[in-house]
A = this chain, B = another copy of it.
Amino acid sequence: MPRFFLNEEAVNGDIITVRSEDAVHIGRSLRMKPGERITFCRQGMDYESVIEKITSDEVICRVESCTASESEAALNLTIYQALPKGDKAELIVQKCTELGASGITFFISSRCVSRPDGKSGEKKTARLQKIAEEAAKQSGRGKIPEIRGIMSFEEAVNELCKNEIPLICYENGGDKLSGISFDHCRSCGVMIGAEGGFDRAEAEEAQSSGATAIWLGKRILRCETCPIAVTAVIMNLSGNF
């Protein structure tokens, strides 16, 4: 069954009104007809719906049932990623979305080479949000991960430590990921460096703010490999894979 993500305004009681791109997609590309069924997703809920009416610019549907999305992980996992060079952020967002991350927040650390200014940072974040949306649709996610950024290291540490389990990947040593218990954990954040990782002062600041350092072993992972591997492993350890 086709799946579409909804924004807040689209739902009114048991009526869903689809406009713009998605309406065109339903009516013209998919050539769907009244009576056919569509799943709409919003914030981790799936709305099973039937098409009532299709006009040139709107599709009106009636909700038949609404259930929590089965494809959403019970754990909210947010990746806090120091902005890498080139198009690595795109790969990170696409893969972490498929693997079930709830959000990906970008920040600037002392070793970041890429340091976009406010305007181009906003543009980059908007593009990454679009990639998250596409990956969420393609992988059957129940919600679109929120892409945030580009914040300072201090802001990112502050956000990280609001999670029940805050972790920082540190190549100079730390606990093994398999030693962390995710039982009954609702939220986990993992902070990951850009090329060259974190400097000592940053690792200490995160730890003194409450984060646990974790160490991924002797093989050196590229900075874009680390968040993908960590998301897969944590989804597995928390029973969400």
Contact = CB atoms under 8 A, between A and B. Distances in A.
B217 A241 contact: yes
A216 B239 CA distance: 11
Interface string A124-148: 0000000000000011110000000
* Size range of the chain A interface in the assembly: 20 to 34
A194 to B, nearest CB: 16
**Oligomeric state, in copies:** 2
A214 to B, nearest CB: 10
Nearest to A141: B219
Contact of A233 (B95, B216, B233): B233
Given A98-B222, A138-B222, A217 B229 contact: no
A41 interface: no
Contacts of A217: 71, 235, 240-241
Given A233-B236, A236-B237, A225 B70 contact: no
Nearest to A217: B241
B236 A241 contact: no
A138 B100 CA distance: 28
Nearest to A222: B98
Given A178-B236, A236-B236, 5 more contacts: A71-B218, A98-B221, A140-B218, A177-B236, A178-B239
